[in-house]
Structure 1
Amino acid sequence: MRSFRYPPNHCHSAAKPLRPSLVLFIFLLVVTLSILRTQHTEAGYAAYVVDVKTGAVLHARNSRVLNFPASLCKVMTLYLVFEGLDEGRFTLASMVPISQRAARQPASKIGLKAGDSIMLQDAILALTTKSANDVATALAEFISGSEPNFAKKMTERASALGMVKTTFRNASGLPNKRQKTTAKDLSILGAALYENFPHHTHYFSRKKFIYRGQVYRNHNKLLGVQKGVDGIKTGYIRAAGYNLMVSARHNGHHLIAVVLGGKTGKRRDAQMKRLLQRAYNRLDRSDKLFAMISLPKEKPQRRKSLDSSLQRGKTTNLNPSESLKTRKLDTPRKEDNDWGIQLGAFARHDAAERILNSVVPLFPEILANTRREISTVTDAIGTLYRARHVGLTEEAARTLCEELTALARPCMLAPPSPSS
């Protein structure tokens, strides 16, 4: 077997060694490019806008790409604070001690000294307005004994909520290369906070907070400026860029919107305004198309008997299963079980599927054997997907719509088509 040999070097002149200054320049250039590449992949622009009630995604850009949360970490910190309040583990009047570690946290902070304390309600406002890092650490230690233990609890709660790509390492959002999240995950957190703690969300609407004679103004510049915005929080560290999560209301819709990686605070805010306005326009279009769908006329004689039966079964407990059990609905006959209920008309097919699936657990016995239909309605404005459960008697359909309306869910009757 022949052995491999490198070909002879025909260049007889020796290469000149690189000068030390040139070597240093090349080294610094490689390091700089590596840092820039890392920041681009981990702290790039991302955005996500969702309709909380329907789950319809109104905008998504890089929404599953890992980013640094910065002070949006404090939304999870406050989620756990609200959880403890509702469980009775402490009260708004509880005093939160300030440790040396908490007092050493860098700005943004309100400058509390070690050995000092702050009332819990003031601590909440210090986070929602000033985004105080010293108070965030103090709250973590107050609840879990140490900030690392609290960060583990934050990550566990994130996982339970479905924030599958999120890891927390501290309560404040200060730089930590292992602390990551996504725009979509943060929208899940925002939606869960407003769903589970609506009685506490007013803290995110406060424009200012006065503590020991000092006025701290909310960093969220869209409050009172952008139509519909009623919360929630900003964030910034150099590695993350300028982040923002907002809650917005528009014509009965509740939106959670997230923008990550803004170049400046003003550009981030301007982009959020654009995304919200586009979302509002899209929702208006969908609502207009839905309103164009004709509603079935109610039969007067049927309405009278139904009203009396509803009055007899009227209850202050809006438990769907219990309420429907009190109403004996006739077993559908073959010739009159083609009535349905329509739960909405959506710009996306998957949103229609989600809303159909969401009501089945509320009325499992009634909806178990219905047909789930998603049909399109098209106009010059565009196309929507109508979500319907079909295969009910007229009485069952009317009763279900009554129940869903009482639960603040949209519903309209869908009578049998002429061909059925």
Structure 2
Amino acid sequence: MIKHARRLFLALGLAATTALTAIATPASAQIPYFQNLLAASQTKYAAIVVDAKSGEILYAKHADSPRYPASITKIMTLYLTFEALASGKLHLDDRVMVSPHAAAQAPTKLGVRAGDSVSVEDAMDGMATKSANDMAVAMSEKLGGTESRFAALMTLRAQELGMQNTHFVNASGLPDSRQLTTARDIAILSRAVMRDYPQYYKLFSMQEFRFRGQTIANHNHLLGRMPGVDGLKTGFTNASGFNLAVSAVRENRRLIAVVMGGPTTAQRDQNAEDLLLTGFDVMRRRANGEKIVVAQNMFEPTELNGPVVRPPTEQGDGEQDQLKIELTGAPAAKAGKIAIASGRERGGEPAKVTKAKWAVQVGEFRSKTDAHRQIALVEKKFAEHVDGARGAAEKQGRNYKAVFTGLTEADARDACHAMKAKRLACMVIEPA
């Protein structure tokens, strides 16, 4: 484990030594595993969800693909700042001089003039909340002499932490094609901040701070909106898309989610929130003894260019937990059976006993509205396979299963085969 008070200025030739083993394991080796709904054409999107305590990967999508970090870079800038504070090389009331180079950085920034100075504390607050580029550069010059030398130290520290696919060339995250990372590496960094410098992690939970008469709000909109969220950092450039590293705690369980390349702020935030909610649900159900894997409803309309977002609440359901992710039971020799026939048809007449008593489940949702939407989509896209079957939203516990009943075994298996060929998750259900 990296010691809390390492010396900042290690020789640049020092070999990388420490990795977060659980996170650094390739995503393909991690189970259970779930994916978020994402159009195949989206090239910027990447995401990962990690159990902060164990390092287990709960979700991975393009987690090792190179991405531009944008202002999430400042987590590393702050990590090295925390390191200097912990080692005594830096103090919160020390002054940070703003050079012409720092003052000339593009917004967002605090706008401190060249030749002026701010306290270390204010500089950190500006980076964590407003994502101030001028403060990032000023701090890099104070700690590294020059921004380029500090960026080399950032890259070195990244390698030591196990961030194998990360390279920094500046302290702010402003556009540079050489500055690259991955969703997995950002998760490693986020976990390292919490582990190595818990005394400073609370900086990321500030919803606002006061600076020279101004109240500056945090760019992380999940703070104060989603219960349990207490950090970390947002980022955006035209090349990167909308990025977010976020952590939350519920029932003494902490998760870290990283979403990169979101098409909008709102969709990025919704995506991250849904991933966290699903991850917490998985962990809760595991703690209660359930053996579950996390699968997804993989139906991805081709016209979408990014993560599928929740249905608008004005369409009849105001639940905030309208997840586009499906929790299913662990694979077994036989799929879980459900009662299909009630024994009577409408009108009170005895139901006819037929062989058409098989079913196909096409999703499980938090709201009845979402289940009915899925049924409608399947009816539209796979009409020839579910013709004559009855689509219904069947309540089970807190969730609703979207199920087509009244199929023969052959029809049910053919329908599910056709759906899987189009990347729609489904499950054939035998008669009770």
| Matching residue of 2:103 | 103
Q: Confirm whether residue 62 of structure 1 aligns to residue 80 of structure 2.
A: no
Kindly indicate whether the alpha-carbon contact (under 8 Å) linking 1:42 and 1:66 is maintained by their aligned counterparts in 2: no
Shift of 1:87: 0.4
Structure 1 equivalent of residue 190 of structure 2:
190
Contact 2:292–2:329, Cα closer than 8 Å, also in 1: no
Larger proportion of helix: 1
CA displacement at 1:252 relative to structure 2: 1.7
Other-structure match for 1:156: 156
**Offset at residue 251 of structure 1 (A):** 1.6
Instruction: Provide Cα deviations, 1:47-81, integer angstroms capped at 9, x if missing partner.
Output: 00000212221111000000000000000000000
Q: Deviations over 1:201-230 (max 9, x none)?
A: 111000001100011100000001112111
Deviation at 1:382, TM superposition (A): 4.0
Q: 1:42 to 1:158 in 2, by over 3 A?
A: farther
Structure with max Cα Rg: 1
Which residue in 2 is equivalent to 1:141?
Answer: 141
Look up the equivalent residue of 1:205 and give its one-letter code.
Answer: S
Instruction: Name the residue aligned to 1:277.
Output: 277
Q: Contact 2:293–2:329 at 8 Å: present in 1 too?
A: no
* Residue in 2 that maps onto 1:219: 219
Query: What SS does the aligned partner of 1:257 have?
Result: strand
**CA–CA separation in structure 1 for the residues paired with 2:268 and 2:214:** 28
Q: Which runs of 5+ in 1 are unaligned?
A: 1-39, 291-344, 349-379, 385-420
CA distance in 2, matches of 1:346, 1:195: 28
Structure 2 equivalent of residue 268 of structure 1? 268
Q: Partners of 1:249 and 1:85 in 2: how far apart?
A: 26
Quote the residue 1:178 is aligned against. 178
Change (3 A) 1:43 1:87: farther
Q: TM-score if structure 1 supplies the norm length?
A: 0.60
Per the alignment, residue 129 of structure 1 pairs with 129
Q: Which letter maps to 1:169? A: V
Could you tell me which amino acid in structure 1 is paired with residue 141 of structure 2? Answer: E
Structure 1 stretches of 4+ with a deviation exceeding 3 A read 40-43, 345-348, 380-384
Percent same amino acid at aligned positions? 44
1:236 and 2:243 matched? no
Paired residue type of 1:61: K
Q: Match of 1:394?
A: none
Deviation string 1:142-172 (CA, Å, 9 cap, x unpaired) is 0010000000000000000000000001000
Partners of 1:67 and 1:180 within 8 A in 2 = yes
Cα deviation 1:20-70 (Å, max 9, x = unaligned): xxxxxxxxxxxxxxxxxxxx9996100000002122211110000000000
CA RMSD of aligned residues (A): 2.0
Q: Alpha-carbon deviation of 1:383?
A: 7.6
TM alignment of 1:392-407, pairs within 5 A: none
Say which SS state the counterpart of residue 73 (structure 1) adopts: helix
Alpha carbons of 1:253 and 1:347: their partners in 2 closer, same or farther (altered >3 Å)?
A: farther
Q: Which amino acid aligns with 1:183?
A: A
Contact 2:292 2:330 in 1 (8 A): no
Aligned in 2, Cα 1:132/1:42: closer, same or farther, shift over 3 Å? farther
Match of 1:16 in 2: none
Question: Given residue 204 of structure 2, which amino acid in structure 1 is its aligned partner?
Answer: F
Q: CA deviation at 1:381?
A: 5.2
Q: Work out the CA distance in 2 between the residues paired with 1:286 and 1:227.
A: 21
**Cα 1:199–1:268 shift into 2, 3 Å:** same
Residues in 1 aligned to 2:173 and 2:42: alpha-carbon distance in whole angstroms:
15
After superposition, the C-alpha distances for 1:355-403 in whole angstroms (9 at most, x for unaligned) are xxxxxxxxxxxxxxxxxxxxxxxxx95489xxxxxxxxxxxxxxxxxxx
* SS state at 1:164 partner: coil
How far residue 84 of structure 1 moved from its aligned partner, in angstroms, is: 0.2
Q: 1:53 to 1:347 in 2, by over 3 A?
A: farther
In structure 2, do the counterparts of structure 1 residues 42 and 95 end up closer, same or farther at CA, with 3 Å as the change threshold?
farther
Distance 1:186 1:108, change over 3 A: same
CA offset at residue 177 of structure 1? 0.3
Residue identity in the other structure for 1:188 = I
Aligned to 2:111, what secondary structure does the other structure show? coil
| Conservation of the 8 A alpha-carbon contact between 1:183 and 1:258 | yes
SS in 1 for 2:288: helix
Counterpart-to-counterpart distance in 2, 1:288 and 1:127: 40
For the structure 1 residues 382 and 252, does the alpha-carbon distance in structure 2 shift closer, same or farther, using more than 3 Å as the test? Answer: farther
Q: Which residue of 2 aligns with 1:167?
A: 167
**2:171 and 2:288 mapped to 1: Cα distance?**
43
Map of 1:82-97 to 2, 5 A cutoff? 82-97=82-97
CA contact (8 A) 1:43 1:241 kept: no
Other structure's SS at 1:209 match = strand
Aligned partner of residue 289 in structure 1, secondary structure: coil
Residue 209 of structure 1 pairs with residue 209 of structure 2: yes
1:330-341 equivalences under 5 Å are none
What residue identity is the alignment partner of 1:244? Answer: L
Determine the C-alpha separation between the residues in 1 that align with 2:220 and 2:147: 26
| 2:93–2:119 Cα contact (<8 Å) kept | yes
Q: Quick check: 2:70–2:240 contact (8 Å CA) kept in 1?
A: yes
Counterparts of 1:235 and 1:205, CA distance in 2 = 16
Conserved in 2, the CA contact under 8 Å of 1:289 and 1:381?
no
